[in-house]
Chains A and B, each alone.
Chain A
Amino acid sequence: MNEPLLEVRDLRKPYGERLVLDGVSLTVNPHDVVCLIGSSGSGKSTLLRCIDLLEDIDDGVIRFEGREISDPRVDPREVRQRMGMVFQAYNLFPHLTVLDNCTLAPRRVHGVGRAAAEERARDLLARFGLADEADKHPDRLSGGQQQRAALVRALCTGPSLLLLDEITAALDPQLVGEVLGIVRTEAAAGTTMVIATHEMAFARDVATHVCFLDGGRILEQGPPEQIFSEPREPRTREFLRRVLPTAPGL
């Protein structure tokens, strides 16, 4: 564990006039589960999108598996073969069955044979309770099922880092549980994850490290016990008071 899996330093990202990320630094070690918390518009999603190289950055350095990936000479596709990302709106491909959604990247990008890819996908789908949905099209599934399918799709390529962008924001509380259950299983299995989330109880439970973002900066970070029990910054306290009915410092 001497080399961090992901290292972000002084990341800066403007959208037009507005500075969305203003000098963000973050270190993620193997098997870490880092939760990004903060109100909407604090830059959580943008940070994830920058890490996945979906956004150009203005300044700063992103290192992944010991290599600087913010270098323009790096092929983003190569990086994304080692990273998985799950979006808030699932973004499953509606014209493909769930199984085909899950085998697309393994077969076309990673060169896995059809039989092997389908076996692994069916295996993962079954583990997450989607065995019966594999041959349906995504639109036939409930929101929770779709998001679980999206998670399986991201896991099928065996990424070394999983980025989850508010994956439960569009789900009702009951479905939130079934999706987060999977994430918990993955966390316990040692998958390294960076998770933007509004689910504080989940963050407290599953995170090894919590970052509070505010106005495009990481205002405070540390182990969940510290952030949730004795936050240092008044802004963190205020945020937690709003989202947690039984927050500390009341």
Chain B
Amino acid sequence: MTDTWAPSERELERRRVRRARRRSSVLVATAATVVVFALLALGVTSTPGWERVRETFFDPGHARDVLPDIWGVFWKNVLIFLAAEPFILLIGLALALVRVSRSALLTPLRIVAVLWTDVLRGVPTVLLILLLGFGVPALRLEGLPTSGLFWAAVALVLSYSAYVAEVFRAGIDSIHPSQLNSASALGLSRGQALRFVVVPQAVRRVVPPLLNDFVSLQKDTALVSLVGAFDAVYAARDYTAYHFNYTAYVVVALFFVVLTVPLARFTDWLQRRWVEKERAGAL
């Protein structure tokens, strides 16, 4: 029967029905998409000021002109992100672990961790960048870097590590206590249980909110232009000031979008792989 199986009449009929329904749902999806976007485009282009807006924000000539300028400095934004991210993850995880630890000896560290998250998460990132970017170089301390860009990046690390620490802590708290129990039952210490059992599961769970913070950080690298660092946003502002045309801002916005998309796809892929491996069968 296994080898000679051919779908029954009923099954073939069912497949026809399914195909027809799929076809009609594709049709509905296409029609809905076209109508919605057409209406949107119509709505925007029929506004009274559209001609002016198009000239000031979407001028192809200006876009072509500013492209090399932005391309030439955009690596700075990427570099800030790439350099800050490992520190943010490390400090964030360390803060979270300190906060869930039980050891009496770590009490002072726990207090520091609480203050860290409370204060650094509370201060607006813009202010933190201004304070550090202008303040620390003004101290004229020997041996410390004086570049505003460096201190702005440090400010980003401080601010984001506080956010990421809370994300990690929520992830750790979300793991059912039975996992900690079974790890203890195997003779693992609390630290080992965290390291080998709880944190690996917590990390898988918090990947989507972490990605959120990553994307947010990628965009906030734009804030370093406030302390005089010549990054992509600064370049765009420069161009705008000379040519009285805002197309440069749209171009630099597109740069940021393009930068964040691969990361989003990568985490999607990572999540899917974990789900396939660990959630086989929905029992």
Question: Are B8 and A72 in touch, CB under 8 angstroms?
Answer: no
Among candidates B1, B7, B21, residue contacting A23 with C-beta atoms closer than 8 Å: B1
Contacts of B5 in A (CB 8 A): 12, 59
A59 to B2: give the CA distance in the assembly, Å. 12
Per-position binary interface string of chain A over residues 5-47, scored 1 when its CB falls under 8 Å from any chain B CB and 0 otherwise: 0000010100000010011000000000000000000000100
**Residues 9-36 of chain B: 1 if any A CB is under 8 Å from the residue's CB, otherwise 0?**
0110010011001000000000000000
Q: Is A192 an interface residue (CB 8 A)?
A: no
Inter-subunit contact A72/B283 (CB<8 Å): no
A61 located at the interface, meaning its Cβ lies under 8 Å from any Cβ of chain B in the complex: yes
- Say whether A88 faces chain B, with CB atoms less than 8 Å apart: yes
For residue A161, give the distance in angstroms from its CB to the closest CB of chain B: 20
- Are B11 and A72 in contact, with the CB atoms below 8 A? no
Closest residue of chain A to B14 (Cβ to Cβ) is: A72
Considering the chains assembled together, what is the distance between the CA atoms of A8 and B17 in angstroms?
20
Please give the number of chain A residues whose Cβ is less than 8 angstroms from any Cβ of chain B in the complex.
18
- Contacts A45-B283, A71-B14, A88-B283: A59 and B7 contacting too (C-beta < 8 A)? yes
Q: Residue-by-residue, is A122-137 near B (CB-CB < 8 Å gives 1, otherwise 0)?
A: 0000000000000000
| B: interface residue count bin | 10 to 19
- B248-283: which have CB < 8 Å to A? 282-283
**Are A72 and B2 in touch, CB under 8 angstroms?**
no
Residue in chain B with minimal CB distance to A94: B176
Q: Are A89 and B14 in contact (CB under 8 A)?
A: no
Considering the chains assembled together, what is the distance between the CA atoms of A87 and B281 in angstroms? 13
Q: Determine how close the nearest CB of chain B comes to the CB of A178; give it in whole angstroms.
A: 22
- Minimum C-beta distance from A73 to chain B (A): 6
CB closest residue in chain A, given B2: A19
* Segment 35-75 of A: residues with Cβ below 8 Å from B: 45, 54, 58-61, 70-73
Jot down 20 A-B pairs with beta carbons below 8 A, ordered by A: A10-B8, A19-B2, A22-B2, A45-B283, A58-B7, A58-B11, A59-B5, A59-B8, A59-B10, A60-B8, A60-B10, A60-B11, A61-B10, A71-B17, A72-B17, A72-B18, A73-B17, A87-B283, A88-B283, A89-B283
Using a CB–CB distance below 8 Å, which chain A residues touch chain B?
10, 12, 19, 22-23, 45, 54, 58-61, 70-73, 87-89
- Chain B: residues with CB nearer than 8 A to chain A? 1-2, 5, 7-8, 10-11, 14, 17-18, 21, 282-283
The 6 closest A-B pairs by CB, nearest first: A59-B11, A72-B18, A72-B17, A59-B8, A59-B7, A72-B14
